[in-house]
């Protein structure tokens, strides 16, 4: 897909739109697992989650039990819902999604290594060092200044956020990238533009797709 003009420059100044409504997100299991520490780093979310766990079934009851304002409650429940840990039950009342935690626990188990590799290659060591520097707890701290390091970080984010060949509307892309940008120095709009400019996402008519490797000719 050809890139549209709005994403053509490396250093944009396009602001994010905090008023844009958020729908339910669709994070991959690894990125959703990495997002949990940040999700529960905010006290209002912890208190709202605890209220639901103790039986609060609606936002008004959550606000009362958690001692939160209506605005704080709405924001906390929205984020908990985006990560799928608080969902409407069969009767419409809010409940903790215990199955979701079980799924994430399974995703956290280390994968078997059938090849019996004893140690990662040197390139893997270097990549790991770069990622440990610029990515913390599933969050992008900042983008490296060096081009070679920047493409390592952008590839990491793209591979863990978007399936190759799958088309995503811009709102879904922004939802997924907001998770990476929370509490960091880079906003999701800037990150989206870098992913496009480095060839990790292609855009056409507001639809984005991560190219399959065979299509990524001449890109990072």
Is there a single domain that holds both residue 51 and residue 98?
Answer: yes
What gap in Å lies between CA 46 and CA 24, rounded to an integer? 19
Q: Is residue 144 a contact partner of residue 153, using CB atoms and an 8 Å limit?
A: yes
Residue 136 in domain:
yes
pLDDT: which is higher, 1 or 207? 207
Q: How many C-beta atoms surround the C-beta of residue 183 within 10 A?
A: 12
User: Dihedrals φ, ψ of 58, to 5°?
Assistant: -140, 165
Query: The CATH number of the domain where 61 resides is what?
Result: 1.10.10.10
Domain boundary pick from 75, 108, 141: 108
Is there a single domain that holds both residue 126 and residue 102?
Answer: no
Between 25-39, 110-124, 128-142, the lowest mean confidence (pLDDT) is in 110-124
Average pLDDT, the chain: 77
Report the number of distinct structural domains present in the chain: 2
* Each residue's pLDDT tens digit, 55-85: 998 999 999 999 999 999 999 999 888 888 8
Q: Is residue 175 a contact partner of residue 25, using CB atoms and an 8 Å limit?
A: yes
Is there a single domain that holds both residue 126 and residue 187?
Answer: yes
Is there a single domain that holds both residue 171 and residue 90?
Answer: no
Residue 187 in domain:
yes
Confidence of residue 18 (pLDDT cuts 50, 70, 90): very low
* C-alpha separations of 169 from 6, 13, 60, 99, 124 in Å: 15, 21, 33, 28, 32
- Using only C-alpha atoms, the chain has a radius of gyration, in whole angstroms, of 19
| pLDDT score for 206 | 87
Residue 45 has pLDDT above 80, yes or no: yes
| pLDDT score for 91 | 84
Structure tokens at 17: 């739109």
| pLDDT score for 20 | 36
Domain range for residue 154? Answer: 5-19+122-215
Residue 5 has pLDDT above 50, yes or no: no
pLDDT: which is higher, 54 or 82? 54
pLDDT: which is higher, 173 or 82? 173
Q: How many residues does the structure list for the chain?
A: 220
189 class by beta-carbon count within 10 Å (0-12 exposed, 13-18 middle, 19+ buried): buried
């Amino acid at each position: 897909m050809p890139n549209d003009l709005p994403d053509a420059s490396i250093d944009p100044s396009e602001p994010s739109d905090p008023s844009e409504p958020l729908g339910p997100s669709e994070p991959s299991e690894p990125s959703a697992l990495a997002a949990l520490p940040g999700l529960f780093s905010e006290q209002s979310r912890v208190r709202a989650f605890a209220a639901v766990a103790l039986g609060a079934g609606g936002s008004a009851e959550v606000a009362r039990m958690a001692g939160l304002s209506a605005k704080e409650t709405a924001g906390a429940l929205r984020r908990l819902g985006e990560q799928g840990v608080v969902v409407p039950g069969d009767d419409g009342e809010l409940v903790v999604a215990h199955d979701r935690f079980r799924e994430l626990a399974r995703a956290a188990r280390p994968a078997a290594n059938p090849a019996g590799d004893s140690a990662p290659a040197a390139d893997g060591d270097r990549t790991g060092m770069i990622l440990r520097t610029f990515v913390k707890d599933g969050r992008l701290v900042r983008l490296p200044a060096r081009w070679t390091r920047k493409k390592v970080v952008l590839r990491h984010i793209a591979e863990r956020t978007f399936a190759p060949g799958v088309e995503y509307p811009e709102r879904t892309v922004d939802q997924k990238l907001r998770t990476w940008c929370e509490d960091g120095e880079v906003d999701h709009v800037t990150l989206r533009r870098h992913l496009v400019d480095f060839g990790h996402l292609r855009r056409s008519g507001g639809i984005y797709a991560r190219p399959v490797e065979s299509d990524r000719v001449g890109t990072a």
